[in-house]
């Protein structure tokens, strides 16, 4: 590492993955004198316009393809501990809407299959016969307590934390890594749905999601339907607001709200969970989850016209960005530190 100047790191993407990674790069540099690493978040969208802003902020591994269970557990556990700290501190709990939330997951088949996260969440148990009678479509199900944040509050909180550490931001659309190769020593690719296109990754695809937010302060539990037909239906309470979803349309890159999807989604949700019927519509949202065959978290040395650029890939989290973000950010920060301490051959570092 050149001690004569600051080492410049660019994080592409300002969603929950990119922003948490930027924070951890600045916080997790034990081998680097304070202020020697300069981090800039470069993105064409910042909160409240990111895909993460549309999330229900719910901790539960989801839509992760072939990602190894050991990795999911490692990243998810680290994120759980982080969210647990936020939810149990009065100041941060209020700032980011962190809370414990309990509820029901209902399954319409006789096959009992415990989720991989059953030992991490609190109070996991099967539903009683009396509880199942509340949901005529369900054959079995489980109840548990998990963690949740208001991402619309959490992203600004992370941004404040990032800037307090000296972080910088730039509004820019990057189409090719050569556009940043001259200016930065290391680049983190956390562009969400665009991350794969940036590096011609054939294993990525957008997964379109659509949700409706309703005002329904009487809904205190979450409800998730794990349906055998693959359709998604959930209701996640967030204060007086309930996030109702949703869709998971693989390969659909349409970001606008679709009226037909909205009607079908609402009809299904109120049919399964009639308690939602009195809810007042507040807003609707559509966005693209960053789908991939598995989460990509690794270092690649990319040859550009002028140098060898260390690129830390941290993308492809599907519907589990909130669930894995803090653990993935820690690993990405470690890879950044390694790249700074051990420059690639033929690099200008």
Over residues 325-334, the mean pLDDT reads 98
CB 290 within 8 A of CB 321: yes
**Confidence band (pLDDT; 50, 70, 90) for 267?**
very high
Mean pLDDT, the chain, integer = 93
Mean pLDDT of 133-138: 96
Residues annotated within the binding site for D-dopa are: 234, 289, 319
276 shares its domain with 301: no
* Residue list for the binding site: 44-45, 51-52, 174, 234, 289, 318-323
Structural domain that includes position 210: 99-148+204-291
Burial class (CB in 10 A: 0-12, 13-18, 19+), 276: buried
In the predicted structure, residue 8 carries a pLDDT above the cut 50: yes
What is the model's pLDDT at position 230?
Answer: 78
Query: Do residues 21 and 71 both lie within one domain?
Result: yes
Judge if 177 and 239 occupy the same domain: no
Distance, in Å, from the CA atom of 231 to the CA atom of 347, rounded to the nearest integer, reads 48
> Which of 291, 316, 339 corresponds to the end of one domain?
291
**Number of separate domains in the chain:** 2
Are 15 and 189 in contact by the 8 Å Cβ rule? The answer is no
CA dist 110 and 14 (Å) reads 42
One domain for residues 31 and 53: yes
- Binding site for FAD, residues? 44-45, 51-52, 174, 318-323
Q: What percent of the chain has pLDDT over 70?
A: 95
Residues of the chain by 3-state class (helix, strand, coil), percent to 5: 30, 30, 40
Question: What CATH number has the domain bearing residue 238?
Answer: 3.30.9.10
Q: Is the pLDDT of residue 348 over 70?
A: no
Domain harbouring 187, CATH code: 3.40.50.720
Q: Over the stretch 183-204, which tens digit does the pLDDT of each residue have?
A: 999 999 999 888 989 999 999 9
Question: Which residue did the predictor score with more confidence, 178 or 85?
Answer: 85
Q: Same domain, yes or no, for 20 and 92?
A: yes
Give the pLDDT confidence of 200-258 residue by residue, as tens digits: 999 999 999 999 999 999 999 999 998 888 788 999 999 999 999 989 999 999 999 99
Is the pLDDT confidence value at 3 over 60? no
Q: Among residues 291, 323, 341, which one ends one of the domains?
A: 291
- Residue 194 per-residue DSSP state: G
pLDDT tens sequence across 280-308: 999 999 999 999 999 999 999 998 877 88
């Amino acid at each position: 590492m050149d001690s004569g100047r600051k080492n410049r790191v660019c994080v592409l993407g300002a969603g929950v993955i990119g922003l948490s990674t930027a924070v951890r790069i600045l916080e997790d540099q034990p081998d680097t004198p304070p202020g020697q690493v300069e981090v800039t978040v470069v993105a064409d969208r910042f909160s409240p316009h990111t895909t993460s802003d549309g999330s229900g902020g719910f901790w539960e591994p989801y839509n992760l393809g072939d990602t190894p269970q050991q990795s999911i557990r490692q990243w998810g556990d680290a994120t759980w501990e982080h969210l647990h700290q936020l939810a149990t501190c009065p100041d941060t709990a209020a700032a980011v809407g962190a809370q414990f939330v309990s509820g029901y997951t209902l399954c319409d088949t006789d096959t009992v299959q415990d989720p991989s996260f059953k030992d991490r969440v609190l109070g996991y148990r099967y539903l009683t016969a009396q509880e199942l009678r509340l949901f005529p479509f369900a054959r079995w199900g489980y109840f548990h307590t998990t963690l949740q944040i208001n991402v619309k509050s959490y992203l600004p909180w992370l941004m404040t934390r990032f800037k307090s550490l000296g972080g910088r931001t730039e509004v820019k659309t990057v189409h090719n890594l050569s556009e940043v190769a001259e200016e930065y020593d290391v680049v983190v690719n956390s562009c969400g749905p665009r991350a794969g296109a940036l590096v011609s990754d054939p294993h990525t695809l957008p997964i379109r999601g659509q949700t409706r937010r309703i005002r329904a302060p009487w809904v205190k539990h979450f409800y998730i339907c794990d349906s055998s037909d693959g359709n998604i239906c959930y209701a996640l309470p967030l204060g007086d607001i309930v996030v109702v979803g949703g869709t998971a349309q693989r390969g659909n890159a349409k970001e606008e709200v679709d009226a037909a999807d909205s009607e079908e989604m609402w009809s299904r949700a109120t049919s399964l969970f009639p308690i939602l019927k009195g809810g007042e519509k507040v807003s609707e949202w559509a966005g693209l989850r960053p789908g991939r065959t598995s989460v990509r978290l690794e270092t690649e040395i990319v040859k550009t016209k002028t140098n060898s650029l260390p690129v830390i890939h941290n993308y492809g989290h599907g519907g589990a960005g909130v669930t894995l973000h803090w653990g993935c950010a820690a690993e990405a920060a470690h890879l950044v530190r390694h790249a700074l301490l051990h420059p690639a051959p033929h690099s200008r570092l």
